[in-house]
Structure 1
Amino acid sequence: MNILEPAFVAAVLTAAAPVILAALGGLLCSVSGVFNMALEGQLLWGAFTAVVLSHLTGSAWWGVAGAVTATALYAAVLSVPAVTFRADPVVVAVGANLLALGLTAFLMREILGVGGTYTSPGLDGLPTLAEAGLGGVPVIGPVLGPQSPLVLVTPVLVAAAAWWLRHTRSGLRLRGIGEHPEAAGSLGLRVGPYRHGAVLAAGALCGLAGAQLALGNVTLFSEGMSAGRGWVAVVAVMLGGTRPYRVAAACLLFGAAEAFGFRLQGAGLPQQAADAAPYVITLLALVAAGAASRRRHAARPRLEAP
């Protein structure tokens, strides 16, 4: 398999884009001092609202706008208990994930009238860049032509987040709040509003990720279609820390594994084994990162007591 083959690179970008967007939201929360494990449920909610609004309005772009707005509001399920009432964010996040799973399955039957999977010839999906004339461009055309515009937006958002966190007053304040909330509060910074803003922004990014997954990667909604991508995004944040480019690189590893799994499935490997490939590689990457961290910790010089 040639990893530089345009079709393979295009598949990697398609698979990685929703995960990168969700992980970018998780990174903002991590920088603010809130560990967001609700990315899975928020991504699923974004995918559902994108399809519902595209179905109701006949416009994929209204679906995208609705997904961003609705998922930002849904993020308040985590923000209010964890930030305002200082509840354990892990416990709240697990509840938010379960709520999204059950609520989307229930509303799917109530609004769309079906269970399991909803698809329709009239459901408007996101346009591809090939439709905008990019498909005929040499070299990059075969790679970017099959993508939706949101795939191009994704690296722009990663670069913007990296710049904002390092070069703006509000970004530096958010980092300070995450590292030393008591010291930031003593300097007059309002820790709560910053953290609320980070969690709601993460919800908006997860809504964008869900819209890309449901209207860009495919044009349908199925129960539980996030399929662990939100958890992979959590792992990417754990691997990349608070550096957007490292987080994006970890997500690209997942995208490459998923694209490779599809290739293996086409070569005759059982579907279950091919589907498991991305998550196995992600788990191995997490184990390797943990081992490297332990080695670095062991190599540090220790101060001995006098």
Structure 2
Amino acid sequence: MNLLEFSFLSGVLTATAPVLLAALGGLICQVAGVFNIALEGQLLWGAFTAVVVSDLTGSAWAGVLGAVAATVLFSGLLSAASVAWRADPIVVAVGVTLLALGLTAFLMRQIFGSGGTYTSPDLAGLPTLAELGLDVPVLGPLVPLAAVLVAATAWRLGRTRSGLRVRGVGQHREAAEAAGLRAGAYRHGVVLVAGALCGLAGAQLALGNVTLFSECMSAGRGWIAVVAVMLSGVLPGRLLPACLLFGVAEAVGFRLQGAGLPQQAADAAPYVITLVALVLAAVAARRRAPEKGST
């Protein structure tokens, strides 16, 4: 198996893009002091609405815009509960995720008349960059956009006044409010931006990686995105390699499945590798703690 051939690299980047976009949303929430682990449900909702809008309009770009708009509205539930009402963020996130799981399964039967998996010749998938006139086959436009958004977020958080204010709100809300900042407004804003990013992630998953929707098709990618945020140390520059770990594992799993590995083992590979990485990161953090204490 040649790990340097373009088909493998494109598979890695395509698998990474939905996780990276969702993780970026989780990261900016974490920076602002909002513990957002509802990425799984938001990603699934984005994938569902992208397919519905694309199927109704025959336009993949309309599907992307529909996914972004619908997921921003959906994230308003999380924003209202966790920011405005200050409910337990874990309970709220689990509730939002379960709502997305149940609602997509229910609406799928109401809209498409069947459960399980939906695909249709009328369902428009995202074009590749080659189809848009660029000499880059296979990759879709949202894949490089994900990397650009990570770089833009790193610059915004580190170099702009609004980014510094978001960081201040996350580090010490009371001090930020004493300085005249509306901490609640900033936190509402980042939750809604995270919803838009999860909408993009869902659109990439349902219209870019494949061209279909199936129940629970997020398949844990939102939880992997949460882990990627933890591995990154809430630093945008570390988010891409953390998400690439999942993309490499998924691409390798597909290759091994083609070589005869059981499908269940191939499907589990990305999550096992991500879990191992999280354990190793925790062990490394514990080893550094005594060193800091002794200095």
Per the normalisation by structure 2, the TM-score is: 0.98
Q: How does 1:74-223 map to 2 (within 5 A)?
A: 74-135=74-135, 141=136, 145-223=137-215
Question: Alignment partner of 2:65: what SS?
Answer: helix
Question: Alignment partner of 1:249: what SS?
Answer: helix
Q: How does 1:40-51 map to 2 (within 5 A)?
A: 40-51=40-51
1:242 Cα deviation (Å)? Answer: 1.9
Question: Alignment partner of 1:93: what SS?
Answer: helix
Match of 2:217 among 211, 225, 242: 225
Q: How does 1:53-92 map to 2 (within 5 A)?
A: 53-92=53-92
Residue-by-residue CA offset, 1:208-259 (whole Å, 9 max, x unaligned): 0000000000000000000000000000000002211211110001000000
- Looking at structure 2, the residues matched to 120 and 175 of structure 1 have their Cα atoms a distance apart, in angstroms, of 45
Question: Alignment partner of 1:300: what SS?
Answer: helix
Residue-by-residue CA offset, 1:116-140 (whole Å, 9 max, x unaligned): 00000121111111212334xxxxx
1:2 Cα deviation (Å)? Answer: 2.5
Contact 1:20 1:248 in 2 (8 A): yes
CA RMSD of aligned residues (A): 1.0
Question: Alignment partner of 1:75: what SS?
Answer: helix
- Looking at structure 1, the residues matched to 177 and 2 of structure 2 have their Cα atoms a distance apart, in angstroms, of 53
Runs ≥4 in structure 1, deviation > 2 angstroms?
132-135
Residue-by-residue CA offset, 1:86-128 (whole Å, 9 max, x unaligned): 1011100000000000000000011111210000012111111
2:270 aligned partner = 278
Per the normalisation by structure 1, the TM-score is: 0.95
Contact 1:27 1:241 in 2 (8 A): no
Instruction: Give the letter aligned to residue 18 of structure 1.
Output: P
Question: Alignment partner of 1:77: what SS?
Answer: helix
Alignment gaps of 5+ in structure 1: 136-140
How many residues align? The count is: 295
Instruction: Give the letter aligned to residue 297 of structure 1.
Output: A
Instruction: Give the letter aligned to residue 19 of structure 2.
Output: V
Instruction: Give the letter aligned to residue 224 of structure 2.
Output: V
- Looking at structure 2, the residues matched to 33 and 129 of structure 1 have their Cα atoms a distance apart, in angstroms, of 37
Residue-by-residue CA offset, 1:50-72 (whole Å, 9 max, x unaligned): 00000111111111001001001
1:302 Cα deviation (Å)? Answer: 4.4
Residue-by-residue CA offset, 1:267-286 (whole Å, 9 max, x unaligned): 10100000000000000000
Instruction: Give the letter aligned to residue 221 of structure 2.
Output: R
- Looking at structure 2, the residues matched to 187 and 176 of structure 1 have their Cα atoms a distance apart, in angstroms, of 10
- Looking at structure 2, the residues matched to 66 and 301 of structure 1 have their Cα atoms a distance apart, in angstroms, of 51
- Looking at structure 2, the residues matched to 102 and 61 of structure 1 have their Cα atoms a distance apart, in angstroms, of 26
Instruction: Give the letter aligned to residue 191 of structure 1.
Output: A
- Looking at structure 2, the residues matched to 201 and 16 of structure 1 have their Cα atoms a distance apart, in angstroms, of 20
- Looking at structure 2, the residues matched to 297 and 185 of structure 1 have their Cα atoms a distance apart, in angstroms, of 32
